[in-house]
Chains A and B, each alone.
Chain A
Amino acid sequence: EPEVTQTPSHQVTQMGQEVILRCVPISNHLYFYWYRQILGQKVEFLVSFYNNEISEKSEIFDDQFSVERPDGSNFTLKIRSTKLEDSAMYFCASSEQGPMNTEAFFGQGTRLTVV
């Protein structure tokens, strides 16, 4: 069964450093998403991406964040200068069509720890 894959599974970084979280969405999917889940808290939307551009972003997704689809398979989330409060589980998701038509499939997540 096709699945969304994320690497690394766990990343530890020093405050102020840049991190790139990588995702390989399901191959025929067109919509991509990043969510995060701070330990013990709710799953929060960060950004959605379609047709090589951001289709929607939340207030969390400020100038420190960026997304890119550098080739036909990868979808990355970059945090330019990490803060302690960026520590969370980051989930990538993809859907075949937009959210009004299909469900999202989630990856296993990357646990980001900022020290």
Chain B
Amino acid sequence: AQSVSQHNHHVILSEAASLELGCNYSYGGTVNLFWYVQYPGQHLQLLLKYFSGDPLVKGIKGFEAEFIKSKFSFNLRKPSVQWSDTAEYFCAVNMDYGQNFVFGPGTRLSVLP
């Protein structure tokens, strides 16, 4: 079965540190890629998305992600994190044969003030 993996289960950073969260998927066809964030007690919110075009996409709150097709990766980055970025981050992939979004296991980010 096709899958989505996220490298880190839990990342702990100090404020102003740079962030990179890894996401890889196992599918050789066309994909659409997403990063969602889930703040404590809240629902999933879209951070950014990639459908086509420039592989470097910018999202809300200063986040960006880069699609590297040859590496089947879509890593999320932010140059300087804030305490308010503490949340769970989910990578999600739509594969062109499917009518759903496949989620990775999530990475919990804790930002220390």
Residues of A participating in the B interface, judged by any CB pair closer than 8 Å? 31, 33, 35, 41-45, 48, 50, 55-56, 58, 91, 93, 98-101, 103-109
Supposing A42-B105, A42-B106, A43-B90 touch, asked if A99 and B44 sit within 8 A by C-beta, the answer is: no
Residues of B participating in the A interface, judged by any CB pair closer than 8 Å? 30, 32, 34, 36, 42-46, 49, 51, 90, 92, 94, 96, 98-106
State which of A48, A93, A106 has its C-beta within 8 Å of the C-beta of B99: A48
22 A-B contact pairs sorted by A residue (CB < 8 Å)? A33-B100, A42-B103, A42-B104, A42-B105, A42-B106, A43-B90, A43-B92, A43-B103, A43-B106, A45-B100, A48-B100, A55-B99, A56-B99, A58-B100, A91-B44, A93-B101, A99-B94, A100-B32, A100-B96, A103-B46, A103-B49, A106-B36
- Shortest B2–chain A CB gap in Å is 12
